[in-house]
A and B are shown apart, each in its own frame.
Chain A
Amino acid sequence: MEKILLACAGGFSTSMLVAKMKEAAKEKGLDLWIDAVGESDIEEHLDSDIILLGPQIAHRLDDLKANLEIPVFVIESMDYGTMNGKAVLEFALNNA
Chain B
Amino acid sequence: MSFKETARKIGPVLSKWTVKFSNNMFVKTIASGMARLLPVTIVGSIIALISSIPYDPYLNFLETSGIKSYLSLGDTMTNGLITIYLVISLAYEMARNYKKSQINAISISLVAFFILTPLTAFTVGEDQVLAFTLTYLGSRGMFVGMFTALIATRLYVLLMDKGIKIKMHPSVPPAISGSFESLFPIVIISLLFIGISAAFAMTSFGDVHTFIYTVLQKPLEGASGSLSTMLIICLVGELFWWFGIHGSNVTSAITNTLYLPLAIANAQALVTGENAQFVLNSYFLNIYKGPRHLALACMLLWLTKSKQLKAIGKVAVIPGAFGISEPMKFGIPMVYNPYIFVPMVLAPMISVSIAYFATIIGFLPIVGINLPWSMPPIIGGFLAGGFAGVVIQVVQFIACIALYYPFLKLLDKQKVREETDKEMELKAAGGM
Contact = CB atoms under 8 A, between A and B. Distances in A.
B118 interface: no
B327 A83 contact: yes
A37 to B, nearest CB: 13
B115 to A, nearest CB: 30
Nearest to A41: B32
A15 to B, nearest CB: 10
Interface in A18-40: 40
Interface string B236-259: 000001001110110000000000
Contact of B15 (A58, A81, A82): A58
Contact of B312 (A10, A56, A77, A81): A81
Interface in A71-86: 77-78, 80-83
B298 interface: no
A80 B319 CA distance: 14
A63 interface: yes
Nearest to A62: B19
B286 interface: no
Chain A: interface secondary structure?
helix
Interface in A33-79: 40, 54-60, 62-63, 77-78
A57 B328 CA distance: 16
B315 A8 contact: no
A96 interface: no
B221 interface: no
Contacts of B16: 59
B330 interface: yes
A62 B328 CA distance: 26
Interface residues of A, number: 22
A59 B15 contact: yes
A65 B328 CA distance: 28
Given A81-B312, A82-B312, A57 B246 contact: yes
Contacts of A1: none
Interface stretch (B159-167, B196-204, B331-339): B331-339
Nearest to B247: A56
A83 B32 CA distance: 27
B269 to A, nearest CB: 30
Given A77-B244, A81-B312, A56 B327 contact: no
B331 A13 contact: no
A81 B332 CA distance: 7
Contacts of B23: 63
Given A59-B18, A60-B19, A40 B331 contact: no
Contacts of A81: 312, 315, 326-333
Interface string B54-74: 000000000000000000000
Nearest to A80: B330
A91 interface: no
A57 B250 CA distance: 11
B220 interface: no
Contact of A77 (B15, B245, B324, B335): B335
20 contacts: A8-B246, A9-B248, A10-B249, A12-B324, A12-B374, A13-B327, A16-B324, A16-B327, A54-B326, A55-B330, A63-B19, A77-B330, A78-B331, A80-B327, A81-B330, A81-B331, A81-B333, A82-B312, A82-B327, A82-B331
Q: Which 10 A-B residue pairs are closest in the complex by CB-CB distance?
A: A81-B331, A81-B330, A13-B326, A56-B246, A77-B330, A59-B15, A9-B246, A9-B249, A80-B330, A59-B19
